Structure 1
Amino acid sequence: MRLLLVPGVSPDRWARVWAQRVPDEPLDVVRAAPAGAAAAVLAGDVDAAVLRLPPDPAPGLSSPGPSSPDLPPPGLPSPVPSTRDGWAVVPLWEDRAVVVVPREHLFTVVDAVDLDDLRAEPLLVPADDVLGAEAAVGAAEVTQVPDTPTALDLVASGAGVVVLPHALAREHGDTRFAVRDVPEVPASRVALVWHRDAEHPLVQELVGIVRGRTAGSSRGDVAAPPAPAAPAVAGRGTSPRTPRTGTRGARPARGRGRRAR
């Protein structure tokens, strides 16, 4: 099976588990830029891909930049894989947005950066941007650059800051930089996708591995239909069970609320 991964996604644990569970079928892992990931699946170059989907807009977030909110960020595939178009899309995790700044930058004195403060910084937007940073941040000064490595070199020189998914910033990180969370910028959504017209017979095994399921657990990205009820067995002491009636009301269902953190 051939699996494509975009930058910021590590295959090490998946490859180890795959080799244990499916020793007769090698997992061939290839790398590609996010913009070409969906096309590689459609062309049959790979069987599935772990790629980035457009971030969900934050509630109340305006888009002051020129980019349309209806279009994906320039570094993502267009059109984006969708179940409406015959794709299987298995959400995996969200990669939080961070701002990358020089090591001695003022932002390093805080753990998270407010959007109002970030807007005052010169923003570098790479052509392979996957967050839609220009629209999400709305900075007063924006500079377009060819790619993420170029943006990071400019950050190190003090020319501006760049907003990236945390895993991507970590992959490119070195001692020249510091990263801080930007909670108001929507996170990057990471998903496993394949096209149902060319579904590999072991793709559900892959779903279980990337989702961290044990070897004996159920697999699949859709719930199985409920099993039909067993027919009643005639015999002594058996009869169809009828609902109980009475004046006592049904006991309300109990649920455990999620404690705020």
Structure 2
Amino acid sequence: MTGSEVSPSSFRLAYVPGVTPTKWVRTWHERLPDVPLTLVAVSPAEAFDVLRGGGADAGFVRLPVDRDDLSAIPLYTETTVVVIPKDHLVAAVEEISVSDLADQIVLHPLDDTLDWERPPGLPAFERPATTADAVELVAAGVGVLVVPQSLARLHHRKDLTYRPVSGTPESRVALSWPQERTTDLVEEFIGIVRGRTVNSTRGRPPTPPQPKAKRADKAGAQRKPAGGKATGRNSRGGAGGSVGAKGGKNAKGAKGAKSSKPRRRP
């Protein structure tokens, strides 16, 4: 493991628009309640500079990642969709191909997250500055927008909808961090994202197993009451015979005396 051996007092996690880190953050709070986790929202364009500059310890980014100084673990691939007005002709079908957009004005924002060799459809007069701006133009009837599904959900509007598009590039989300700062807490978060249990051999030190001698003692402790109970039954039986011989002082003793008393011959 590289990086500092002394764990910092907090952990900063960057994330790009469309990524929802809620489930991993919840697991972090469960496992490390004494280490605050701070979320840092970043744009796709600034995400890698934030990691390199120490503005975050790790971050959810979109591939590709420059592997010269950053490490990355690919997590999942998103469905690509086209954002359209609800009354658009495309809204009548469940899925389209990229060729179906040939006659459409397809907006291509400057922060586009899809690695197009050549964007589909007809180009707009100018490129919107952001995906949010492009969504506004779709609502105004200027054109349509092709984005990862998470961004379509993020910028949801009641007057818009979206449909899956085949034959397009796909966006892949990854966890990334600076190679030279792979700290204990970064390793801990990697384990959470990969689904390792709290006692995994990687990440945090596992809980030591209970020594065999202690398990044997515990087993013996469980057997002891059982043996004692059996001895109690034998004692009651013996006590019953003894009390019967003395005439008995309680109901069980009397019953024992009665059952042990020999019958007289007629």
Q: Normalization by structure 1: what TM-score?
A: 0.69
Show the 5 A alignment for 1:212-251: 212-217=195-200, 219=202
Show the 5 A alignment for 1:28-107: 28-54=38-64, 80-82=65-67, 85-107=68-90
Q: How far apart, CA to CA, are the structure 1 residues paired with 2:160 and 2:198?
A: 40
Assess if the C-alpha contact under 8 Å between 1:87 and 1:194 holds in 2.
yes
Q: How far apart, CA to CA, are the structure 1 residues paired with 2:102 and 2:192?
A: 40
Q: 5+ residue gaps in structure 2? A: 1-10, 204-266
Q: How far apart, CA to CA, are the structure 1 residues paired with 2:110 and 2:39?
A: 25
Distance 1:218 1:178, change over 3 A: farther
Distance 1:181 1:197, change over 3 A: same
Assess if the C-alpha contact under 8 Å between 1:119 and 1:137 holds in 2.
no
What's the CA shift string for 1:69-126, capped at 9, x where partnerless? xxxxxxxxxxx421xx132111111112110000111111111111111121101111
Assess if the C-alpha contact under 8 Å between 1:99 and 1:180 holds in 2.
yes
Q: How far apart, CA to CA, are the structure 2 residues paired with 1:181 and 1:39?
A: 32
1:160 partnered with 2:146: no
2:155 to 164, 167, 172: 172
Q: How far apart, CA to CA, are the structure 1 residues paired with 2:112 and 2:29?
A: 33
Paired amino acid for 1:16? R
1:194 CA displacement = 0.7
Q: How far apart, CA to CA, are the structure 1 residues paired with 2:87 and 2:150?
A: 22
1:13 partnered with 2:23: yes
Distance 1:43 1:175, change over 3 A: same
Q: Which residue of 2 aligns with 1:109?
A: 92
Assess if the C-alpha contact under 8 Å between 1:113 and 1:181 holds in 2.
yes
Q: Normalization by structure 2: what TM-score?
A: 0.68
Q: How far apart, CA to CA, are the structure 1 residues paired with 2:191 and 2:97?
A: 37
Assess if the C-alpha contact under 8 Å between 2:108 and 2:119 holds in 1.
no
Q: 5+ residue gaps in structure 1? A: 55-79, 221-261
Distance 1:115 1:87, change over 3 A: same
What's the CA shift string for 1:129-152, capped at 9, x where partnerless? 11135x354323334111111111
Q: State percent identity of aligned pairs.
A: 41
Q: Which residue of 1 aligns with 2:178?
A: 195
Any runs of at least 4 consecutive aligned residues in structure 1 with deviations exceeding 6 A, and if so which?
Answer: none
Assess if the C-alpha contact under 8 Å between 1:207 and 1:219 holds in 2.
no
What's the CA shift string for 1:155-207, capped at 9, x where partnerless? 01111001111011101112111111112112101000111212221112211
More helix by share: 2
1:12 CA displacement = 1.6
What's the CA shift string for 1:195-252, capped at 9, x where partnerless? 12122211122112223333234547xxxxxxxxxxxxxxxxxxxxxxxxxxxxxxxx
Task: Give the 3-state SS of the residue equivalent to 1:152 in structure 2.
Answer: helix
CA-atom RMSD, angstroms? Answer: 1.6
Q: How far apart, CA to CA, are the structure 2 residues paired with 1:199 and 1:49?
A: 13
